[in-house]
Structure 1
Amino acid sequence: MKHIIVISLFILVCFCAKAQEFNVTVQVTSPQVEGTEKKIFETLQQELFDFVNNRKWTNYIYKPEERIEGTILITIEQRSGEDFKGKINVALRRPVFKSSYNTTLLNYLDRDFEFKYVEFQPLEYSDNVFTTNLTSTIAYYLYLYLGLDGDSFAKNGGSPYFAKAQNIVNMGQNAREKGWKAFEGQKNRYWLIENLTNPTYSSVREASYRYHRLGLDLMADDVEAGRAAINESLELLRKANRERPGLFILQLFLEAKRDELVNIYSQASPMDKTKAVNILKEIDPASASKYQRILEAAK
């Protein structure tokens, strides 16, 4: 009997040791690339999956059920030998307390993704050295995942991970590949982390905490109290928008939440509906017709 217990504990320890931070689906596709061996993309996909999910990214011990869920979809559009060019779609989701519902934290398409890759060559990465654009970009988004997830559970809970993402951006200033520099565009990796670490726009991060931890997580027990916290989060988002209309990180927040917000407020009181719609139309005017459905919904 003792042997059985020891073996069971050993299996449990081994399982927990493998329970790293992420449970992320990685997919590499190449629909536009012709005349090349497709197996290299399968190898890249498996190596990136292992890089993401089997590497230790923090000092925190995650339980299996705590692992952060998301997807990384890489679409290769061009290949020339060891040089690859395409785009990367990163999506992050978070479970809502006492429900089977997962809310989206991020869904972003990065169109500036170039890298070198040699099949079966180990993927190298260090937090203190810009090794390759492939691993640095993936690591950047993983730290972004950790930061956004952390912010949704505790006020400014993602700060240590945003600092790591910022460090990757700093080291990428001499990279030949695009996406790391301020002058290359107003919506890239540089500006995404700049928005998240700039104190001027801290209200967006506070809004995320109120929206998720004090809002969605509370709604299973008290719908009205949860919605009240989401009301407060909208006020914080309006504050950020008035500081800088069209703020990149605010646009990404709304991109992830538009449909969810319509559902949340469609069953609200007339006063809450009107207030929410007025704010949403102000901060996201391009989607005004979608928010109008809130007022048209019967409670």
Structure 2
Amino acid sequence: MRRLSLLFLIVLWSVVTGVAQELRCNVSVSGQQIQGANRNVFRTMQADLYEFMNNRKWTDHVYSMDERIECSIYIRLTEQVSANEFKGSIQVQLRRPIFNSDYESPVLNIKDNDFHVEYVEYQTMEFNETSNRDNLTNIMAYYAYVILGMDYDSFSPNGGTEYYQKAQQIVNNSQNVRYSGWKAYESERNRYWLVENLLNKSYAPYRDCIYQYHRLGLDQMSERIEEGRAEIAESLKSIQKVFRSRPSLYILQIFFDAKANELVNVFSKSYPDERNRILAILNEVDPSNGSKYDKIKEAAEEF
């Protein structure tokens, strides 16, 4: 009861002052696959993680309530290793509002299967910026900074660098922990490589694309649809450049996991020359979604 009262006062203070934290993060925790478990633990974990993500100050910037970054985290627990130890997956999604519209563009949609944490019900959740004493809060903080970095990158060139660096520091702090997901040798598609790819100057065109695609492309489509679409088409050349440098790069998969359906919608009513150029790029850099991109041609034929 005392804890709920404190949370109510925090929310009330934010409403009264008009100042809010950076994230509006929906958190869902499911333990349906774990037989015989205490279901209240999952509800408490969800409430604790919601409070951790939404009521912590992640930056030095001041946000109003309507400026908070829309994101979602879905945690699916599949194994209870011991009384307080769980394994499963975490899916992280980020949405970005588009200027002068009610549309929110998917920027990030990533599933991380290296979710191995300890959680003690009713114990205060603490995150230490200099060490990994709690893998659960380190994973959550890591993705909070990745969310911030992606969002800031979409509004200004390389705007998210500071937050990617904070995420990288969490990776560095986690090199000696027993949990997977933090080390380079474990996989080419994990938390280590995500932030490494984002900060690696060799792949800088990727981040150039994130800015051009959103700020110069989508944000002007409500008023100048052809100009905005042309910017998005141009931004994909940056993705193509990165692909030709290293086709198996993790961030390329992440980009298309978020953007494939949106690209179909954007270019379905494109003019023939632009459509053909885009299809050539997409079929080169993202062949696994080729059946989706066929819809661009099909829609054009119907149109």
For the superposition of Structure 1 and Structure 2, which TM-score range results when normalised by the shorter chain? over 0.9
In the TM superposition, what whole-angstrom CA distance separates every residue of 1:12-57 from its partner, at most 9, and x where no partner exists? 774424x100100001100111112110111111011000001111
Q: Which amino acid aligns with 2:296?
A: I
- 1:272 match: 274
Matches within 5 A, 1:115-154: 115-154=117-156
Q: Please point out which of 198, 208, 211 is paired with 2:210.
A: 208
The CA RMSD over aligned residues, in Å, is 1.3
Secondary structure of 1:87's aligned partner? strand
Q: Which amino acid aligns with 1:243?
A: S
TM-aligned CA deviation for residue 122 of structure 1: 0.3
Q: 1:248 to 1:163 in 2, by over 3 A?
A: same
Matches within 5 A, 1:274-293: 274-293=276-295
Q: Find the aligned partners of 1:272 and 1:285 in 2 and give their Cα distance.
A: 19
- 1:72 match: 73
Q: Find the aligned partners of 2:298 and 2:219 in 1 and give their Cα distance.
A: 26
Q: Find the aligned partners of 1:286 and 1:72 in 2 and give their Cα distance.
A: 25
The number of residue pairs the alignment matches comes to 289
Q: Please point out which of 258, 261, 269 is paired with 1:259.
A: 261
Percent of aligned pairs sharing the same letter: 47
Q: Find the aligned partners of 2:266 and 2:251 in 1 and give their Cα distance.
A: 21
Secondary structure of 1:234's aligned partner? helix
TM-aligned CA deviation for residue 126 of structure 1: 2.1
Q: Which amino acid aligns with 1:230?
A: I
Q: Which amino acid aligns with 1:121?
A: Q
- 1:227 match: 229
Indicate the larger mover: 98-107 or 285-294.
285-294
Q: Find the aligned partners of 2:141 and 2:239 in 1 and give their Cα distance.
A: 28
Q: Is the 8 A contact 2:84 2:120 kept in 1?
A: yes
Secondary structure of 1:173's aligned partner? coil
What's the TM-score, normalizing by structure 2? 0.93
Secondary structure of 2:27's aligned partner? strand
Secondary structure of 2:106's aligned partner? strand
- 2:57 match: 56
TM-aligned CA deviation for residue 78 of structure 1: 1.1
Q: Which amino acid aligns with 2:55?
A: N
- What stretches of structure 2 of length at least 5 have no aligned partner? 1-11
- 1:191 match: 193
Q: Find the aligned partners of 2:46 and 2:210 in 1 and give their Cα distance.
A: 32
Q: Find the aligned partners of 1:147 and 1:286 in 2 and give their Cα distance.
A: 27
Q: Find the aligned partners of 1:32 and 1:206 in 2 and give their Cα distance.
A: 41
In the TM superposition, what whole-angstrom CA distance separates every residue of 1:191-240 from its partner, at most 9, and x where no partner exists? 11111000011101100100000000010110111011101111000000
Q: Is the 8 A contact 2:131 2:174 kept in 1?
A: no
- 2:99 match: 97
Q: Is the 8 A contact 2:77 2:86 kept in 1?
A: yes
Q: 1:13 to 1:37 in 2, by over 3 A?
A: closer
- Is 1:23 aligned to residue 24 of structure 2? yes
Q: Find the aligned partners of 2:171 and 2:149 in 1 and give their Cα distance.
A: 15
